[in-house]
Amino acid sequence: MDVTTPQQHYPSLMRWLHWTIACLIITALICGLLLGYGLVQGDSPAGGVLMSIHVGCAMASLPLWIIRLTLRHRSKLPEGVGPGWQQSIARVSHLLLYVLTLALPLTGYGMDIAYGGAPTVFGFRFPDFGLTAPGVQNEPLGEALWFFHSNAGQGLALVVLLHVLAAIWNTIKDPAGGIRRMLSPPRH
């Protein structure tokens, strides 16, 4: 790459983390929305599987989120595209994506602890850090965390949808940009 040519694609590890976290978050969102809207009953066998997938994907995204955020601040990234107002909206939406993808797994974890347990994924129980005791629950805290978790999940679903639509729009407007910036660069 010529030193004077701006970078057009994200670094390979950033691309891998982006798509891996996207798959985890979208899967967690779909499972959460199916359960939250009662399309699958949480106490059914299918509900138990969906809840394990929901929690598992959310918990798997946390360490990747930390790595991606660290890498984002240490990597040379492509320049923003579009007019200034579009770049401002992109910055705000990325900030929302980062905040919500951190807050949702943490509030879900906290909610389980408030209800007297700890997140469990296919039989594996995450630590409760000594915050739970048999028969002890903090119902008001659990309800508050559930309210935030549920509404923030719907908000994240909306932000993800807008992010995908913006990427598609930018790809249509500039075939060399948009989604292609988050794909492997063409080989010469």
- Are β-strands 120-121 and 124-125 bridged in parallel, bridged antiparallel, or unpaired? antiparallel
Give the closest residue to 61 by CA, choosing from 11, 88, 27: 27
- Give the pLDDT score at 23: 96
Q: Which run of H or E residues covers position 118?
A: none
Instruction: For residue range 35-83, list pLDDT tens digits in order.
Output: 999 999 989 999 999 999 999 999 999 999 999 999 988 888 777 777 7
Query: For 172-179, what is the mean pLDDT?
Result: 80
Weakest-pLDDT range from 2-11, 21-30, 77-86, 135-144: 2-11
Coil, helix or strand at residue 85:
helix
> 5 and 78 in contact (C-beta within 8 Å)?
no
**What is the token pair recorded at 6?**
């701006």
**What is the token pair recorded at 9?**
């694609």
3-class SS shares of the chain: helix, strand, coil, % to 5: 65, 0, 30
- In this structure, what DSSP letter does residue 125 have? E
CA 16 vs. chain centroid, Å, equals 14
φ, ψ dihedrals at 16, nearest 5°: -60, -45
Instruction: For residue range 88-116, list pLDDT tens digits in order.
Output: 888 899 899 999 999 999 999 999 999 99
Q: How many CA atoms lie within 13 A of 33 on its CB side?
A: 13
> 138 and 110 in contact (C-beta within 8 Å)?
no
Average of per-residue pLDDT values in the chain: 87
Q: Distance between CA atoms of 29 and 92, rounded to whole angstroms?
A: 20
